[in-house]
Amino acid sequence: MIIVMRPRASEEEINFVKAQVEAFGFQAHPIYGEVKTVIGVIGDKTGFDSEVFFNMPGVETVVPIMKPYKLVSRELKSENTIVNVDGVKMGGKRLVVIAGPCAIESEKQIKEIAHAVKNAGAVMLRGGAYKPRTSPYAFQGLGEEGLKLLNYAGKEASLKTVTEVIDPRDVELVSSYVDMLQIGARNMQNYRLLQEIGASKKPVILKRGLSATIEEWLMAAEYILYNGNPNVVLCERGIRTYETATRNTLDISAVPLLKNLTHLPVIVDPSHATGLSNLISPVSLGVVAAGADGLIIEVHNDPAHALSDGPQSILPQHFAELMSKLENISVTVGRSI
């Protein structure tokens, strides 16, 4: 439920209600809005009578949250959440474009790509060091050595960095090298990982599971917020359908739908959604028009020899062309790039 405080409720009144919520054994999540403060009351309320809060000083009303997810819901927080990745703000007016290879392969490769995407206007560098591959025989990533290379390349090109973490035991180590974590599609419902990242407070991209419904995805995000980390960005990366012409099927409607259901930023990964390099540009333009807050795109300087996801990786020069097209569409939808 949400306790809505009166517009001019004092700090004492807010703190008093918060303390009462906690005294009943619930978690209190105050959200200090420009006009009103609301307090999210999280916990099992079976048999609990919310009437008690109505008569407390400064309380305007008490409303239930109908959705199973609470902390991520628009019902609780009407303003957009801006996730700040060491100065890069995701979820605001500016479109955030993240680019880089699927996997970090060598110092030369990651540095070359980092400089190229920076020159084209990307603000963050992606690159996998721990790759969740379908086959155990496929390249698994460079591990900690890859993290070091990503860190150097990001610093050298003045780009913030993001990488996937696949094991809850690695959260601290990975966090020490990058600005943002990524939870991959295959781990969207790895609850130990969600809890660990929840406790870490590190900004995180939560990708949609291979066959996850919107509700399952938002419940996964709820785990992270519930454990204390509000810095979650959702990433639509296509879902599995009967269609085999593309790697996955991009659910473009997820973008405006999520914008209604949640206050969290929403980005799109056209690379894993389509699996085809020639579809990256048109799909990117489409999702920005649909309201995406950003994109994460696989860019490689030699896609034919990439150790992972070559067929969906675009060349730096094609990425630069896409960036200039994105500029026009951003203006049309009232954003900047």
Q: Rounded to whole angstroms, how far apart are CA atoms 115 and 259?
A: 33
What would the 3-class secondary structure string for 63-122 be? ECCCCCCCCCECCCCCCCCCEEECCEEECCCECEEEEECCECCCHHHHHHHHHHHHHHCC
Q: Closest CB to ligand PEP among 184 and 303?
A: 184
Q: Closest CB to ligand PEP among 29 and 207?
A: 207
Residue where the block lists tokens 């150097």: 152
Picking from 167, 163, 181, 189, the residue whose alpha carbon sits closest to that of residue 229 is: 181
Q: Closest CB to Mn ion among 273 and 326?
A: 273
Q: List the single partner that 237 binds among ligand PEP, Mn ion, none, CB under 5 to 8 Å by kind.
A: ligand PEP
Q: Closest CB to Mn ion among 102 and 183?
A: 102
Amino acid at 223: Y
Residues 292-311 contacting Mn ion, CB under 5 A = 309
CA atoms within 13 A on the CB side of 138: 11
| Least distance to ligand PEP, CB of residue 207, Å | 4
Q: Rounded to whole angstroms, how far apart are CA atoms 208 and 98?
A: 17
| Least distance to ligand PEP, CB of residue 43, Å | 32
214 three-state secondary structure: helix
Q: Which residues are CB-neighbours of 34 under 8 A, at least 6 positions away?
A: none
| Least distance to ligand PEP, CB of residue 124, Å | 13
| Least distance to Mn ion, CB of residue 96, Å | 19
| Least distance to Mn ion, CB of residue 271, Å | 6
Q: Closest CB to ligand PEP among 77 and 126?
A: 126
**CB 298, CB 306: distance < 8 Å:** no
Q: Rounded to whole angstroms, how far apart are CA atoms 254 and 260?
A: 10
Token readout for 90 is 């995701």
Helix and strand numbers (H, E) in the chain are 11, 14
| Least distance to ligand PEP, CB of residue 132, Å | 6
**CB 294, CB 267: distance < 8 Å:** yes
Q: Closest CB to ligand PEP among 57 and 132?
A: 132
Q: List the single partner that 207 binds among Mn ion, ligand PEP, none, CB under 5 to 8 Å by kind.
A: ligand PEP
* Residues that bind ligand PEP in the complex, under the rule CB under 6 A: 102, 128, 132, 184-186, 207, 237, 269, 272
Q: Rounded to whole angstroms, how far apart are CA atoms 285 and 119?
A: 20
Site mask for Mn ion (CB under 5 A), range 87-106, x = bound: ---------------x----
Q: List the single partner that 303 binds among Mn ion, ligand PEP, none, CB under 5 to 8 Å by kind.
A: none
Q: List the single partner that 222 binds among Mn ion, ligand PEP, none, CB under 5 to 8 Å by kind.
A: none
What value, to the nearest 5°, has the Cα angle with vertex 264 and ends 258 and 267? Answer: 70
Q: Closest CB to Mn ion among 37 and 308?
A: 308
Q: Closest CB to Mn ion among 247 and 263?
A: 247
| Least distance to ligand PEP, CB of residue 62, Å | 39
Q: List the single partner that 72 binds among Mn ion, ligand PEP, none, CB under 5 to 8 Å by kind.
A: none
| Least distance to Mn ion, CB of residue 9, Å | 48
- The site for Mn ion (CB under 5 A) is made up of 102, 309
